[in-house]
Structure 1
């Protein structure tokens, strides 16, 4: 682990333009705006699109597993699933193996939507003006950052307990 940088007289660490969190938030908001326009044609919001991505990749899943993939709790996920179900894209049903568990499955319409969604990543990639290797490298670094931040948050929680 590297040491925390020491501020120099020419660097004010409390300036907004020095905050990585702000840069990440600004990029996230910019992505959100772009996705909003692109996903409107599919009738999906960005969080709904993420749910569909997981279901297209893994097939039917228990709500708990779906939440783990998306890093969302069931209180956040349930309204999303309700709207996707109302749109005819997914169906929820109690597990035959465990009645406490609800499984989410794609409908025929939800499965068919995947074909139309294939254009979304292409349009997003083009908008970044990054090549494929730059996108992969950025994703890898962001994944590393997420792991480091999760570990730091866990350590803070344990220290505070």
Structure 2
């Protein structure tokens, strides 16, 4: 019997959202052992990636870059502060604005984290161009969904 494509729009096999969900879960699981060595969760790692590039940014800017609201971001930042990786202060220009600074421990962690992207590439294998295209498509999907809200 020939392999017939399921045309049911409610079939799990036809759901792009499920493919993205499954890939995301698998990606986070792949990162977990590497991040455990740094005592970071995946969301904390993403926040640190931004902070390593943008020292002294505001909490709002970090939230924009991570696509997180303050209700999600604040507890994450408090945990990073308790770990001694960041400090939250006030902007010198506008005291209403909270700014984030990386501590020396946070800078040391950056050196340790530098190996993670290469380790993940090894885990994923494959053609780097494929991953660039996948990232582009995911970014495009995000932009389309974000603008539709």
Provide the TM-score with structure 2 as the length reference.
Answer: 0.92
CA distance in 2: counterparts of 1:26 and 1:42, whole angstroms: 25
Match among 111, 118, 123 for residue 122 of structure 1: 118
Partner of 2:72: 76
CA distance in 2: counterparts of 1:72 and 1:144, whole angstroms: 18
Partner of 1:158: none
Q: Stretches of 4+ moved more than 2 A in 1?
A: none
CA shift, 1:14, in A, is 0.8
Match among 134, 141, 146 for residue 142 of structure 2: 146
2:53 is equivalent to residue 54 of structure 1: no
2:100 counterpart SS class: strand
1:61 counterpart SS class: coil
Partner of 1:159: none
**Which gives a bigger RCO, structure 1 or 2 (Cα 8 Å, sep 6+)?**
2
1:59 counterpart SS class: coil
Partner of 2:127: 131
- Decide whether aligned partners of structure 1 residues 31 and 10 sit closer, same or farther in structure 2, where only a CA change above 3 A counts: closer
Provide the TM-score with structure 1 as the length reference.
Answer: 0.85
Match among 24, 28, 46 for residue 28 of structure 1: 24
Partner of 1:4: none
1:83 counterpart SS class: helix
2:105 is equivalent to residue 109 of structure 1: yes
CA distance in 1: counterparts of 2:97 and 2:125, whole angstroms: 43
CA distance in 2: counterparts of 1:129 and 1:10, whole angstroms: 30
Match among 89, 102, 125 for residue 93 of structure 1: 89
Q: RMSD of the alignment, in Å?
A: 1.5
The alignment of Structure 1 onto Structure 2 pairs a total of residues equal to 146
After superposition, give the CA deviation of every residue in 1:13-55 in whole Å (9 maximum; x if it has no partner).
Answer: 1100110000000011111111111100011000000110001
